[in-house]
Amino acid sequence: MNAKLSAGLLVTALLITGCGGGSEGSGQSSSTPKVGLITKTETNPFFVKMKEGAEKAAKTSGMELMTAAGKFDGDNASQITAIENMVAAGVKGILITPSDTKAIVPAIKKARDAGVLVIALDTPTDPQDATDALFATDNLKAGELIGQYAKAAMAGKPAKIATLDLAPGITVGQLRHDGFLKGYGIQEGDPSIVCSQDTRGDQAKGQTAMETCLQKAPDINVVYTINEPAALGAYTALKAKGREKDVLIVSVDGGCTGTKAVQSGQIAATSQQYPLKMAEDGVKAVAEFAKSGKKASGYTDTGVTLITDKSASGVEAKDTAFGLANCWG
């Protein structure tokens, strides 16, 4: 009886020792500084690559990584819970891609008030200074690059533009949209914009949005999309109408699937961004804060590159060989 009891206690102790508490890097000392990563979802290849970058940097920096994500893009409640859990676990810093850029702000404030460094990755909060720092693509520039490309590629031909956007109130979507218009040299409400639909960056919703736009304006010849899944949905809808050869599709992201779609000609050009670098730089900033107390601040541009195999006059770009060597997903 006593032997059985002792064995049971030993098994229980081993189970407790092996539990990582929902974090990466289980088995590390309780004195190991912790950093949290909260993404919009776990399944989007962009955030998968971001997590990969965070894991690599945490290992190099000698930190324990805790991770969490929303159940879907826009799941603010899960992100709030993740912040609260990470603060309770004693993280030194939290890296977050906010799903709802306004609604998340009070939870971020509580974390910062508790002495936690909070860095937004990819998507700025609203207001941007609700976090200590932002490590992200210049999304306005990303949109501007594909706007400039589309304008040059049209070579003076009158444009009938459809914008397949993200969703209201999400800064990354608004910045890309505004950048596209700026790059094309038009303003909101310009008569050349014949249709605008939200897609939430989803391929199926992108297809539905494109079908709606084609019903409204069958002569569309330029399509701006918030990301490459939306672009591929648009391509499917255009192909069903026999229009895939005569409509210019431009996008943003630079994932491997999207870059291959540029290579095959389904998408004319995309602005490539670098999620792995965002996360690596974010973890390094938290490691520095844990070590010296120095806080990262302001905006750090993690880079963007126009990718196309059909160059346009006056627009700097790299080809898909470069894009595939640097893509994610």
102: closest CA among 86, 82, 79, 85?
Answer: 79
- The first and second tokens of residue 127, run together, are 């207001």
% of the chain residues with pLDDT over 90: 86
CA distance linking residue 297 with residue 324, whole number of Å: 32
pLDDT tens, position by position, 60-100: 999 999 999 999 888 999 999 999 999 999 999 999 999 99
Count of alpha carbons within 13 Å of 207, Cβ hemisphere only?
Answer: 10
pLDDT tens, position by position, 105-138: 999 999 999 999 999 999 999 999 999 999 999 9
CA distance linking residue 258 with residue 263, whole number of Å: 9
Strand order in the sheet with 248-253: 193-198, 161-165, 222-225, 248-253, 269-272, 305-307
State yes or no: pLDDT of 29 exceeds 70.
Answer: no
What pLDDT, on the 0 to 100 scale, is given for residue 58?
Answer: 98
What pLDDT, on the 0 to 100 scale, is given for residue 118?
Answer: 98
Q: What confidence category does residue 31 fall into, taking pLDDT thresholds of 50, 70 and 90?
A: confident
Strand pairing partners for 270? 251, 307
State yes or no: pLDDT of 249 exceeds 90.
Answer: yes
Residues in the chain: 329
Torsion angle in degrees (nearest 10) through CA of 223, 228, 233, 238? 40
pLDDT tens, position by position, 168-218: 888 899 999 999 999 999 999 999 999 999 999 999 999 999 999 999 999
Could you tell me if 187 and 147 are in contact, meaning their C-beta atoms sit under 8 angstroms apart? Answer: no
CA distance linking residue 52 with residue 116, whole number of Å: 22
Could you tell me if 131 and 296 are in contact, meaning their C-beta atoms sit under 8 angstroms apart? Answer: no
The angle that helices 228-240 and 256-264 make with each other, rounded to 10 degrees, is 40
CA distance linking residue 196 with residue 80, whole number of Å: 31
Sign of CA dihedral 99, 101, 106, 112: positive
CA distance linking residue 170 with residue 104, whole number of Å: 12
What number is the average pLDDT over the span 238-243?
98
Q: 159 to each of 67, 234, 297, how far by Cα in Å?
A: 44, 17, 41
Rounded mean pLDDT of the chain? Answer: 91
Q: Spell out where 254-328 has E strands.
A: 269-272, 298-301, 305-307
Q: What confidence category does residue 17 fall into, taking pLDDT thresholds of 50, 70 and 90?
A: very low
Element (H, E) at 197: strand 193-198
What pLDDT, on the 0 to 100 scale, is given for residue 20?
Answer: 33
What number is the average pLDDT over the span 231-246?
97
What pLDDT, on the 0 to 100 scale, is given for residue 19?
Answer: 30
Count of alpha carbons within 13 Å of 281, Cβ hemisphere only?
Answer: 21
What number is the average pLDDT over the span 262-269?
98
Could you tell me if 258 and 231 are in contact, meaning their C-beta atoms sit under 8 angstroms apart? Answer: yes
What pLDDT, on the 0 to 100 scale, is given for residue 30?
Answer: 62
- From the centroid of its chain, how far is CA 140? 14
State yes or no: pLDDT of 18 exceeds 70.
Answer: no
Q: Which residues contact 155 (CB under 8 A, 6 or more apart)?
A: none
CA distance linking residue 154 with residue 307, whole number of Å: 17
CA distance linking residue 80 with residue 328, whole number of Å: 27
What number is the average pLDDT over the span 262-266?
98
